[in-house]
Chains A and B, each alone.
Chain A
Amino acid sequence: KAGVTQTPRYLIKTRGQQVTLSCSPISGHRSVSWYQQTPGQGLQFLFEYFSETQRNKGNFPGRFSGRQFSNSRSEMNVSTLELGDSALYLCASSPGEGGTEAFFGQGTRLTVV
Chain B
Amino acid sequence: GEDVEQSLFLSVREGDSSVINCTYTDSSSTYLYWYKQEPGAGLQLLTYIFSNMDMKQDQRLTVLLNKKDKHLSLRIADTQTGDSAIYFCAERNDYKLSFGAGTTVTVRA
Q: A residues bordering B, Cβ < 8 Å? A: 4, 6, 33, 35, 42-43, 45, 48, 55-56, 58, 90, 92, 97-98, 100-107
Neighbouring A residues of B45 by C-beta, 8 Å: 101-104
7 closest Cβ pairs, A-B complex: A43-B99, A104-B43, A45-B96, A106-B42, A104-B42, A56-B95, A107-B42
Number of interface residues of B (CB under 8 A): 21
Q: Are A98 and B94 in contact (CB under 8 A)?
A: yes
Majority-rule SS of A interface residues: strand
Q: Which residue of B lies closest to A107 (CB)?
A: B42
Q: Are A48 and B42 in contact (CB under 8 A)?
A: no
Q: Are B95 and A106 in contact (CB under 8 A)?
A: no
Q: B residues bordering A, Cβ < 8 Å? A: 31, 33, 35, 41-45, 48, 88, 90, 92, 94-102
Neighbouring B residues of A105 by C-beta, 8 Å: 42
Q: A42-B101, A90-B43, A103-B45 are in contact. Are A56 and B35 (CB under 8 A)?
A: no
Q: Which residue of A lies closest to B93 (CB)?
A: A45
> CA of A64 to CA of B90 in the docked complex: distance in angstroms?
23
> CA of A98 to CA of B100 in the docked complex: distance in angstroms?
19
Neighbouring B residues of A6 by C-beta, 8 Å: 42
Neighbouring A residues of B42 by C-beta, 8 Å: 4, 6, 90, 104-107
Partner of B97, one of A4, A55, A102, A106: A102
Q: Are B35 and A33 in contact (CB under 8 A)?
A: no
- A58 vs chain B, min Cβ distance (A): 7
Neighbouring A residues of B101 by C-beta, 8 Å: 42
Q: Are B102 and A42 in contact (CB under 8 A)?
A: yes
Given A45-B96, A98-B92, A100-B48: 10 more A-B contacts, CB < 8 Å: A43-B88, A43-B97, A45-B98, A48-B96, A56-B94, A56-B95, A102-B33, A104-B42, A104-B44, A107-B41
